[in-house]
Structure 1
């Protein structure tokens, strides 16, 4: 099965799921509990004050659960994602979706969570939007957070220039509203694919089908004519109005507040949901949000750098850089010029990056202390530093020029110099230390 319930059952078996039966509120309490267990377990809330729906959070908040979602091991996550992108396959369309078991027009039947004290309201944070690409006729799927305005309207956050926004602008230029569909509560492999920024004209749902070994099926919606995963917990369809906006602001990946924006309005036509529906909430700025957005980019960087520079061993988007702004690249250096060439290529491959550090194969790129050790013993600021000024950066970084999307970037060559004696960089080892058990000596 390619649905959320199947994944939750796997989490139960692996003991990676905590179940909360105590009555909880959508106003700050669910967010607070999720934050407290961040990086540990997924959480299923079965008794919600404001809704009859269940709610799950922190589904892929660790690399272990991320690997489970795409059907592989932690070591093979990138290979699986890269392969799925290359072998993307269109899912089958079936006549009926399980989400059609119930129908409503009241968005407040869902347990929409209020997460942070200064946000403009509650947000649906796991919502994936589906629209038709005007140039190819194929669908596009991507993450877009929604803030309820009333029973049938949401503000919808769209980044200018991204695919859904391009579809919206095309419809607007033709004097039309844009019909879209939205899913909440899907297998996390679908969410992972939806977070990936595929090329214009490519449908991320085909990547999801590949991640799910071809087991994904879609069902067609009556109003929009769009196809969505047939086992979705919750589905909405309607249109983004071409001539109306609403102010909102929210917490982003960096766990900071974005500035106030006027965003387009989504008008609901139909709300569908399964019997005993499960709502998925993603806590902005915490581990699930960062891994959902950052891991597909990390896979992309691994694929592109290894192809161009075979000496690349591993690329890691660091936790301290919010899995988005900082990268560490582990290499087997062949030439003194390798690190600076790789720094340049890494920045080109992910323009939101602000910092790139190149380390040798004996340095663990996922260990901040190990990387700092490389900086302390192998980096010289007068020759191993790369600075880029006034270049395109991330719109999320509050220290940058967010109006012009300009920033400064820095690269560190923290690799061993070939001009120095190699023994000076060798980390001393104690033979057979792994076989020493302290219990034998301290009783």
Structure 2
């Protein structure tokens, strides 16, 4: 049975160096982020289980997906096969099954019994808002037009015992659903579940034509058990989650939210975000609250398989000879291409920079370049790129407010594509430096070294 606590038990038993339990009380403000920061300075990224958080009723676990090695462990595959496992899951989704056996509904609070203050929501950074945040909540909403269920991960700023501000990026699926409810003049039912097996989070950030619950099933290789919400009919949440918050969002009610230090390493500042009114809070009797320390390794690793999957699909639709894709820095990606036509790099740029709000800088290289080695990538730019011919500026595209360089209140931004591929028919004949192959093959270095005086 694959849920958060079964995964924690597995890591504790089989990868004990990946699990640290801290029993002393920690402060809600800054301390958990400080502890993780110190560990990362030592090149360590373990799961951290805090048994006591000051002022909260639940224990806290963070950094569950804090390394690609642990994500691979959760998926029972080598690190190099994580992307392929994700692609297989998306190609063969397994739909969820509805159950009434729901540990997450063992405790139910409605009305005046709801108290978000029981949850160990945290403050992470010096310049963050004073209000605490929930960062590992997965939203569940249904499109009012299609009836399809959408999952997505969002930050929630707790305002009081029954409400929180929810950051929803423009152009994302949940934003589209919210706008559909606005056009219909209706409030939006929504639920957030907290306490996820790594496969749940990986599937929740999927972006494509499928429903995310099916992708999660594909990653688990079994159906995910889901249960209907207590107060929001028609919404279903994982039966073995730890905590669920149910409620509604009025599309026309916005409140100030932030500042908040995001995955880019910088604060987003204060924005106007939708207000989530909680109608029920359910949880296990011995619930564990899950957290993602914003701006640290987990914030990046949990997104990468989904980003790679969707980007490769879009890139290959523009140029089937695309071989690989990698994110090498915030808002900066590299595509490797078995180029067969000179216009292919530009076609890939057009496809990605016009459709992905988080794609701002895109470098296209030949397939023999190791795209995860920045030196090889910059070497390709230095040797193959003529700026007047190969650098393409896109002056007005959809971006994201998570980009600290974006000054537009509507997240409009400029973007850049760099063609660093070799010409198929170069006008100037250039020969690489190389030793004749027969001479190279004839040299026995061990024999040469033996003959030293």
TM category, shorter: 0.7 to 0.9
Measure the CA separation in 1 of the matches of 2:384 and 2:323.
18
Question: Which of 43, 58, 64 is 2:48 aligned to?
Answer: 43
Structure 2's unaligned 5+ residue stretches are none
1:332-411 equivalence runs, <5 A? 332-411=338-417
2:291 is equivalent to residue 281 of structure 1 = yes
Pairwise CA distance, 1:44: 1.9
Say whether the 8 Å CA contact 1:131–1:141 is kept in structure 2.
yes
The aligned counterpart of 2:133 is 123
The aligned counterpart of 1:33 is 35
Question: Which of 34, 55, 72 is 2:60 aligned to?
Answer: 55
2:11 is equivalent to residue 5 of structure 1 = no
1:23-102 equivalence runs, <5 A? 23-38=25-40, 40-102=45-107
Tell me the TM-score normalised to structure 1 length.
Answer: 0.87
Pairwise CA distance, 1:329: 1.3
2:263 is equivalent to residue 253 of structure 1 = yes
Measure the CA separation in 1 of the matches of 2:204 and 2:168.
14
The aligned counterpart of 1:224 is 232
Pairwise CA distance, 1:275: 3.0
SS at match of 1:33: helix
Tell me the TM-score normalised to structure 2 length.
Answer: 0.86
Measure the CA separation in 1 of the matches of 2:433 and 2:401.
39
Pairwise CA distance, 1:423: 4.1
Measure the CA separation in 1 of the matches of 2:421 and 2:39.
36
Measure the CA separation in 1 of the matches of 2:398 and 2:174.
21
SS at match of 2:293: coil
CA RMSD of aligned residues (A): 2.9
The aligned counterpart of 2:205 is 195
2:116 is equivalent to residue 107 of structure 1 = yes
Q: Which of the pair has more CA radius of gyration? A: 2
Measure the CA separation in 1 of the matches of 2:261 and 2:442.
49
Pairwise CA distance, 1:30: 0.7
Say whether the 8 Å CA contact 1:124–1:147 is kept in structure 2.
yes
Alignment size in residue pairs: 430
Q: How big is each residue's C-alpha offset from its partner over 1:180-207, in whole Å with a ceiling of 9 and x where there is no partner?
A: 21101111211122222334xx521221
Say whether the 8 Å CA contact 1:353–1:394 is kept in structure 2.
no
SS at match of 2:152: strand
Question: Which of 290, 301, 304 is 1:291 aligned to?
Answer: 301
Q: How big is each residue's C-alpha offset from its partner over 1:305-348, in whole Å with a ceiling of 9 and x where there is no partner?
A: 34553432210011x22xxx111112333444443333333324
Moved more, 7-16 or 171-180: 171-180
The aligned counterpart of 2:421 is 415
